[in-house]
Amino acid sequence: MQYISVYSTMRIVSELPNTAILFCPLPSRPAIGCHQLMQEAPSTAVDRRPIATRNRKWAQATTAWLASRNVSPNAISIAGMCACVVAGIALGVTSIADYRILWLIAAVGAQLRLTANMLDGMVAIASSRTSKTGELYNEVPDRISDAAVFIGAGFAWGGNVTLGYIATILAIFTAYVRAAGKIAGAPNEFCGPMAKQHRMLVVTVICVYAAITPRSWLTIAFDDSQIGLMALGLVVIVVGCVITVIRRVARIARALEA
């Protein structure tokens, strides 16, 4: 039997029916064969959270820049967590200090968390540094980030401490349901309406609004009672998380029974 090596340019010779073609590693990616790349791509796409921003030029350019400098994907995950911890502290301080910059810091921190969550996976794939510990660094900092932001929102001006803790528990529980489904054999379930990016959007919108409006506008009056805008946002997050948990459990159950 005759063998032909295939590198960056592959030619299929139909005139040689008895020819077997060996898929050898490409020169630019010596550790991964062509057939391996084709097999890994679909599974990678299925397990990743669908984020349209990944296709933006700035995201791809940032990924290439970080990968070329050997920045660790795990370090990016930790950086996103730190940004969210700072955001939570800034939110808490708004209850004792009326500085608009604190709201802006919280808004930026929440969005930096999402950006880091996107870039860590992109950098890991671009630099071929995906690993089992990457899953650990992807999940644990995320849960700390949720706790920091929602507890901080509970202590914020116009917030509610009890709602902050409830939102924290439910945010962590939505992630637990997704992880439990994956362990059971179902695909990762990222559906909303209150997935991670939606929760951060609610917090960000309220923070930006609070940064540009008078402090008196951060409460809503109902007859003889009133509720703070941040507390109202936490109610939206709590209700949205409950719906998200129900939807995820139902979809995971259908996937496992299929």
**pLDDT score of 47:** 64
**Cβ neighbours, 10 Å, residue 172:** 16
Residue 154 and residue 107 in one domain? yes
Residue 2 and residue 63 in one domain? no
**pLDDT score of 44:** 42
Residue 187 and residue 160 in one domain? yes
Residue 138 and residue 38 in one domain? no
Measured CA to CA, the distance from residue 92 to residue 54 in angstroms comes to 32
Count of structural domains within the chain: 2
* Residue span of the structural domain in which 170 resides: 54-257
Q: What residues in the chain have per-residue pLDDT under 70?
A: 1-48
CATH number assigned to the domain comprising residue 87: 1.20.120.1760
Residue 11 and residue 81 in one domain? no
Residue 112 and residue 222 in one domain? yes
| Tokens standing for residue 81 | 């967590």
3-state secondary structure 126-178: HCCCCCHHHHHHHHHHHHHHHHHHHHHHHHCCCCCHHHHHHHHHHHHHHHHHH
Residue 127 and residue 24 in one domain? no
Last residue within a domain, chosen from 11, 26, 47:
47
Residue 115 and residue 193 in one domain? yes
